[in-house]
Structure 1
Amino acid sequence: MREAQLRNLAVNQIGYPADGRKSFVCIGQGGPFEVVDSAGGEAVYRGETAQPRFDEAAGITLCTGDFSALTLPGSYFIRLGGENSARFVIAESPYAELQRGLLKAFYFFRCGCDLEEEFAGPWQHKACHLADGTVYDEPGRKLDSVGGWHDAGDYGKYTGPGAKAVADLLLAYELYPQAFREPLPLPESGGGMPDVLHECRYELDWLFKMQDERTGGAFHKLTTKQFPGLDVMPEDDLADLYFLPVSATATGCFAGVMAMAARVYRPFDGEFADRCLAAAERAWRWLADHPDAPGFTNPGDVGTGEYGDNLDLDERYWAAAELFRTTGDEAYHREFLVLAAQQFPKYDLGWANMGAYGTIAYLFGDRAKADPALYGRLLDGLIAEAERFAAISASDSYGISLTPTDYSWGSNMVVLNRAMLLLLAYHLGGSKKYEVIALDHIHYLIGRNALDISYVTGFGDRPVMHPHHRPSVGDKVAQPVPGLVAGGPNRGLNDDCMLEHLQGMPPAQCFIDDEQSYAGNEVTIYWNSPAVFVVSHFV
């Protein structure tokens, strides 16, 4: 459990881009402040905080201090009223190491291979989950289950969430290839392909195994029937594995991400790209043959993450958009137009609502082939959503797009998904302010928040130390696996640890750095993936 005393001055504990907006947040009434050179101890900038205001989400009176005029690279801290902030840097590109750490986290999520000391350091462990899995509703049928990423703090592997994570990383590579030039390294590094694509391929190779060879549909998930104990290392989790039944949502996600991968990998490996496209098209045929497939529900004897979702229009919409963008086939365009006329969220980037991925694929595709009216409506809608986030951010003391009610389970995913959408809107011709606001979301993640904590393990001077993450608990290494994004404040207090320690706390303070807090301090691949996208923009 976190025991560090809360500082009254919250900064990005890594630093600020030299040419960007720079500010800190102070609890209380504020006043004159200094920016102090860490090396020489001399004040290099002086200013006055803005007028204090009560922040509803944080439940405290706050004021901000702006020092954007300071652009000289160096190491600094804020001094105000005899108190010092965390040290931070001002640099041309302060987030390169953070970006690499967020991406390297996916290597630590790998299942089915040795994590070797050369690449994993003290967090090495042996290969895990090597047994075949049983098809749940066909007990005599066993299939190869090895590979992919563990989903979260547990060892389940899920088609939909895995597809979202890969999609975020592939989008990051498509928009910011220069951010991935340096190897991490990984065991596969080299061969002319960037490591982000090597890492995504590790998951994609497993996703192929989630397509039922008999039907073309995608199994919803691959897990044991119940979660193992919190201190169980992956190689010691020997319970039987099960392929849970095919679902339309999983199949739609599978088709979407495979069509996307076919496009991205084409310059590097044509044979692999062909395989991805064939898998996507077969999954699409399953979707076409099952227009009324029911949503997924855990069987009564299965207690692992359900990822239940009764609406599959958004996944079908994404699949049609990616297949159209990749192939140019007008048949997929016609299907997309029909789906686009239906009512469902088209600008959400979460695992349950995948509509934004379809919208993005259409807007970033060949505009000459798009329907002009639909293209305009989708673009206007995405910009309107960015404007909504900008308005929320303007009223928030920390500059992020969460209202008090948005501090729910996985609130940091919401922070990062919204920052991601702001950047996508910026790329599509939206206001420069969207980029500035997205950077404020990074500042929040790395310490400029109500708890003066970095929500990324291993980064910042007060990072999360006790994530709900089985390898970090069970490996006997003092430091947790680095580069993991914690879920963040959750006003729902959905676990016993939160209920015991956080009753009555305001939404933005409903977080405890305790390994028992799975509803606030767990980690997942699809919280890391939008973080990679957003930080890559600023590398």
Structure 2
Amino acid sequence: MRYSRKNAGILSLLLLFSSIGMMACGRTTVETGHVSYSSISSLTGMESTPVINYTLPVLTPNVLVDQQGYASGREKLAVVKSREPVENFRVIDKETGETVYHGKVENSDYNEDLHLYIGRVDFTEVTQNGTFYLECDRVGQSFAFTVQQDHYGELFRSLCAKLHEACENRRITEEEILTVLTACEWYPETFADDNANEIPDLLEDIAGWLEKTTNDTGQPEPENMTYVAALAKFGYLYQKYDVQYATQCLQHASAIYTKLTATSGRDAQKFMALTELYRAAGLYSYRTQILEYKDFFEDNTSYLEETDYLYGAMTYLATRQAVDVDLCTVFMEDIRNRGEELAKRSDKMIDAVTSVNNGTEDLLKRAEELSCANYILYSYQYTEILEDFLHYLMGRNKDSVCYYPEEGDTADYLLLIAQQVSLGGKHEQIK
């Protein structure tokens, strides 16, 4: 064949696409992986003129795992999807390449809608610390994941460090502060006290955030009911450490509330602020205003869709002040029923291959609602489901995308992970 520039150009392109194919596939055989595309800068000729545009395919593994990892003493599940039934799986040590465990793929049922076999991999018996990946014949490998004894503890400490920085730099919102304070209230034993002054470090971080927020003359202090609720909740939790400062925060919350209430109607934020103020101060006027919402709560359960109403209800149930028993009963029954409803729906919301949900923010909100039900009446089932929410958000989903920690509020993850840390011992004991 005569050699020419034209033939040389064609040959170069063939070699180029051949190398692209090899780079994209690597060592993993992907039988049914989804293909998405990421842009690559165009090639240029001798005169810097673009001559071709192309994109590299990104293949989704067919073995779906939690890419953040698993706790060594907890259940470890993965999902396999394939065009033909898959019988066996192997757990391979990433560092040594050795197979540390092997087993049978369970429940490999055919999904008519997806035209795929969906199987379950249970490798709970892998308890040694390390970095691993799963491998199945014809289907290929999963992404790498870790197994470690204190998996949730490590995640929790990492989130606390991020929140510490956010408080220092005032990049945290009042809504996030409330969620962090809720975690501090529900699971105080999980929070570190590195300076050994008997005050949880993250609670001190919030105290610093409040001081900067109230004293900064260059940036106006928030004037909204969510901020009032945060001040009052902090004052209630901080009183056993510093009564004077806690009282100042409560008085400040009351003053802002009085200013705002003149022009505000009844809404979720105001109700939440009232419940926090009433629990901390016990004023009869706050109790009276809370009871003005009673008819609204008795007529519907849609209020649970609003986080502020939900948090307000939880605070009202927790208060030691005089409460309306009927209203408490309404809250208890509604939150319990909501938990049961979410437990039934969870299989569809966080199914690894056929999930139907509205994205990360909505999933975190549903997990928050289920966390409330679990706090009121501890349920092993709820704890398992909430752990599955984390597994889903951390990569065990149809796109093998780890949404944590970039998508969703850090504080929401903190509440979920604090629950797993706190209930971990009970969880393992039941198993």
Give the TM-score normalised by the residue count of structure 1.
0.60
Deviates more, 1:312-321 or 1:25-34: 25-34
Partner of residue 537, structure 1: 419
Aligned to 2:133, the other structure's residue is in SS state strand
- Listed as ranges, the matches of 1:1-16 within 5 Å are 5-16=59-70
1:127-526, aligned counterparts within 5 Å? 148-149=170-171, 162-181=173-192, 183=194, 191-208=197-214, 251-292=224-265, 313-342=267-296, 345-348=302-305, 350=307, 354-366=308-320, 369-396=322-349, 398=351, 404=356, 406-407=357-358, 411-456=359-404, 484-487=405-408
User: How far apart in 2 are the matches of 1:202 and 1:415?
Assistant: 31
1:19 Cα deviation (Å)?
4.2
Structure 2 residue identity aligned to 1:80 = C
- CA RMSD between the two structures: 3.2
Equivalent residue, structure 2, for 1:28 = 82
| 1:63 and 1:397 in contact (8 A); partners too | no
Q: Report the secondary structure of 2:397's partner residue.
A: coil
Separation in 1, partners of 2:162, 2:379: 32
Counterpart-to-counterpart distance in 2, 1:340 and 1:403: 37
CA distance in 1, matches of 2:110, 2:231: 48
Q: Which residues of 2 match residues 88-127 of structure 1 at below 5 A?
A: 88-109=145-166
Contact 2:89 / 2:137 at 8 angstroms: preserved in 1? no
Percent identity over paired residues: 19
Structure 1 residue 72 and structure 2 residue 127: aligned? yes
The superposition leaves residues 318-358 of structure 1 with CA deviations (integer Å, 9 ceiling, x where unpaired) of 011111222233332221121243268432465xxx21110
Task: Confirm whether residue 48 of structure 1 aligns to residue 105 of structure 2.
Answer: yes
1:112-151 deviation line (CA, Å, top 9, x unaligned): 6xxxxxxxxxxxxxxxxxxxxxxxxxxxxxxxxxxx22x5
Residue 222 of structure 1 is matched in structure 2 by none
The structure whose Rg is larger is 2
Equivalent pair of 2:168/2:205 in contact (CA under 8 Å): no
Aligned residues: 359
How far off is 1:375 after superposition? 0.9
In 2, are the aligned partners of 1:25 and 1:62 still within 8 Å (CA)?
A: no
19-28 vs 354-363, which deviates more? 19-28
Cα distance in 2 for residues equivalent to 1:399 and 1:84:
16
Provide the TM-score with structure 2 as the length reference.
Answer: 0.73
Larger RCO (CA under 8 A, 6+ residues apart): 1
1:130 paired residue number: none
Shift of 1:437: 0.4
For residues 275 and 535 of structure 1, what CA distance do their matches in structure 2 show? 32
* Kept in 2: contact 1:314–1:355 (CA 8 A): yes
Q: Which has the higher helix share?
A: 2
Given the superposition, is the C-alpha separation of residues 318 and 67 from structure 1 closer, same or farther in structure 2, using an over 3 Å criterion? same
Q: Tell me, which stretches of 5 or more residues in structure 2 are unaligned?
A: 1-37, 40-55, 422-431
Residues 182 and 395 of structure 1, relative CA distance in 2, 3 Å threshold: same
Q: 2:304 is matched by which residue type in structure 1?
A: Y
Counterpart CA distance in 2 for 1:94 and 1:280 is 38
Specify the code of the residue in structure 1 equivalent to 2:371. Answer: L
Greater displacement, 18-27 / 314-323: 18-27
- Alignment match of 2:137 (pick from 81, 87, 100): 81
